[in-house]
Amino acid sequence: MTFWQWFQSLFSPPAPTPAPKPAPVPHPESAMLDALNSARAANRCVPLMPDAGLDLIAGSRAAKMARTGILSHNGYEHEVADHYPRQATSECIAEGQKTATEVVRDWMNHPHNLEIVLGRFNWVGCGHRDGFWCCDFLSA
């Protein structure tokens, strides 16, 4: 740096520092799978495997509940059985929680949902739409 550059730098404003990039926010469905598997790991259960077909079903069910404003299991057995005949299924749904972690915490505090989350299921599909959450579970 020359003397002249140094002298000018004394009167120049400092260069702005770039703002830090925010941490990436996972999609609610991915966050749900992570939260479910964390709960299962804490209870010595094998992790659930994601299933794209179940994701579509759960996503469509969450969208339907958001569209109608009604939290309901109505018809899930038929929707899952149409794609996965003769396999055990179950469903957990929720409304109003802000994060997947809140949903799983609430499910873990409810005996029926606790049994599903920690149950014999191998695969899961997760859906979220406008405050409605849906997980469809499937066993081998």
The predicted structure's pLDDT at residue 108: 94
Q: Kindly list the averaged pLDDT for each block of 10 residues, start to end, along the chain of length 140.
A: 75 72 76 96 95 96 96 90 90 96 95 88 96 94
Q: What pLDDT does 114 receive?
A: 87
Helices (H), 26-136: 28-42, 52-68, 76-83, 100-108, 111-117
Q: Given this model, what pLDDT does residue 18 score?
A: 75
Q: What is the pLDDT of residue 21?
A: 73
Q: Which pairs with CB-CB distance under 8 Å and at least 24 residues apart come from 95-99?
A: 95/65, 95/71, 95/131, 95/132, 95/133, 96/131, 97/131, 97/133, 99/28, 99/31
